[in-house]
Amino acid sequence: MFEKHSENGYRLAIKGIELKTRVYGEKTLMAEFRLTKDSILPRHAHPHEQTGYLVKGHIRLSIGTEKCDAQAGDTWCIPGGVEHGAEIIEDSVAVEVFSPVREDYLPKAKKNE
């Protein structure tokens, strides 16, 4: 599966955070997030392992009891089931990979198959 760059296809996940599923396979899914300054990703947990890369910007991550100021080029890994959240310090772009595939992030056409 290949995915060409496009400015289309983003959807609002929560206020200030847009999501676009870039590509997925049987075991992993890659998503791009556009994060608006001063937005908050509330603490939450899910069963998926999540690895991320901050393409641009500055965010403050909390993973379990750890906190980290992440800037462009920084990476992270969140084990499945661990509570996490983020404060968006400046407009940012993050790319994250989830395993297993997040069914809720699949394009609608795939969900209906």
**Domain at 73, CATH number:** 2.60.120.10
Count of structural domains within the chain: 1
Structural domain contains residue 15: no
| Domain limits for position 46 | 28-104
Write out pLDDT tens, residues 24-56.
999 999 999 999 999 999 999 999 999 999 999
Global confidence as pTM: 0.91
Structural domain contains residue 14: no
Structural domain contains residue 1: no
Write out pLDDT tens, residues 52-86.
999 999 999 999 999 999 999 999 999 999 999 99
Question: Which CB contacts under 8 angstroms, 24+ apart, belong to 12-19?
Answer: 14/39, 14/41, 14/42, 15/39, 16/40, 16/88, 17/41, 17/88, 19/105
